[in-house]
Structure 1
Amino acid sequence: MRRIAAVLLGLMFCVAAHAHVQPGDTPPDALGTTQDGRAVTVSSLHGKVVVVSFWATWCGYCMKEMPVLANLQSLATQRGLPLQVVTVNYREDRRVFVNAVRALRPRLPGLLMTWDRDGALGRPYGSDKGIPVMVMLRRDGTVAHVHVGYGEDMLDTLVGEINELLAGTAATSAAGNAGGSL
């Protein structure tokens, strides 16, 4: 009987070690480093709705998604909305990441682009199973939504979820700012 209990306990630890973040969870704090080596964390972005997208230059869907995210970031910035899009380069060589940022930055302004050297940062989000992975965080840093994959048919849903999160931030804002949407 004890042996069975020990095996079950061991299995529970294995499953827990491979569980991915779910809505309501507090995600890991690290979101990678920028091209210039600055660490980006979830806690440093508290107070904003955060959209995190794991991508790579070889991922066609990722490269289709990035201009859409840049447009959302630009629109939010123009409207003064508390949104930050963080795109995390997944498991590519640092040289590839730096060159990609240099090439993409002029076309994708406003995106906070970071690097996940070995995939460890993306693993809790399920990026080891495939990318792109998009995670939306509430203003308090907890997970609101997790999306795996990308398709243009998802756009209305994604914008709706972001608008709901922005409306929620306006309702809880200490300054009482009027709500806004994308």
Structure 2
Amino acid sequence: MRRIAIMLPGLLLGLLLCCHAVAGDRPRLQPGDTPPDTLGTTQRGQEVTVSSLHGKVVVISFWATWCGYCMEEIPVLAKLQLLATRRGLPLQVVAVNHREDRDTFVRTSRVLRRSLPELLVTWDRDGAIGKPYGVSGIPVMVMLRRDGSIAHVHVGYGADMLDTLVGEINALLLEQPAATAAVARP
């Protein structure tokens, strides 16, 4: 029994190193990077892109109906979106349904649209949209600056993260948008 207890920490360390090496081999976008443009399609077939949201702080949440933490996070993000909309703040939450079948996505989108109408819900059928962000487990939240660059990436969700997330969103809303090129006048 004592031998098992002594070997267990070394075995766990070895497993962690193997998992880290496999995860490290995957390309993963980091803060400061420019993400791919696509954010999926809505239930009605509308393509949503990062470029179409330029000028707004964008919060992307990769989620699925079977994920308990995701289902806790989505209403919180929808309330933040509602508050931002009411106050005229340049914020858009995009909830990207990750790797669920079309029927589940459509049913869930309808329910969310009725109960959380400010939330923009899109579909990532095969995980291709989440792949550049390193999404393998969910939830994953990515915050974009108004210029479309990545500001923060969070893996997982818990109510204890809420103050940090709201603080990051508020800081991004306070950042001045990138200066636009001066227009020459005749």
Q: TM-score of the superposition, structure 1-length normalised?
A: 0.83
Q: Among residues 141, 148, 152, which one is paired with 2:159 in the alignment? A: 152
Whether 1:81 aligns to 2:96 is: no
| Distance of 1:145 and 1:57 partners within structure 2 | 24
Change (3 A) 1:126 1:15: closer
Whether 1:18 aligns to 2:26 is: yes
Q: Which moved more, 1:57-66 or 1:17-26?
A: 17-26
Matched residue SS, 1:106: helix
Matched residue SS, 2:32: coil
Contact map agreement 2:147 2:178 (CA 8 A) in 1? no
> 1:173 offset after TM fit, Å?
7.4
> 1:90 offset after TM fit, Å?
0.3
> 1:107 offset after TM fit, Å?
1.7
1:81-106 Cα offsets, whole Å, 9 max, x none, are 00000000000001110000111222
Contact map agreement 2:93 2:119 (CA 8 A) in 1? yes
Change (3 A) 1:17 1:46: farther
Change (3 A) 1:172 1:25: closer
Contact map agreement 1:126 1:133 (CA 8 A) in 2? no
Structure 2 residues not aligned, in runs of 5+? 1-21, 181-186
Aligned residues: CA RMSD = 1.8
Matched residue SS, 2:114: coil
> 1:16 offset after TM fit, Å?
8.8
Q: TM-score of the superposition, structure 2-length normalised?
A: 0.81
Contact map agreement 1:23 1:142 (CA 8 A) in 2? yes
Whether 1:161 aligns to 2:178 is: no
Amino acid at match of 1:65: E
Change (3 A) 1:18 1:138: same
> 1:115 offset after TM fit, Å?
0.1
Matched residue SS, 2:95: strand
> 1:47 offset after TM fit, Å?
0.4
Misfit runs of 4+, over 3 Å? 14-17, 171-174
Instruction: State the aligned residue count.
Output: 159
Q: Among residues 38, 43, 46, which one is paired with 1:30 in the alignment? A: 38
| Distance of 2:49 and 2:24 partners within structure 1 | 23
Percent of pairs identical after alignment?
72
Structure 1 residues not aligned, in runs of 5+? 1-13, 175-182
Contact map agreement 1:134 1:146 (CA 8 A) in 2? yes
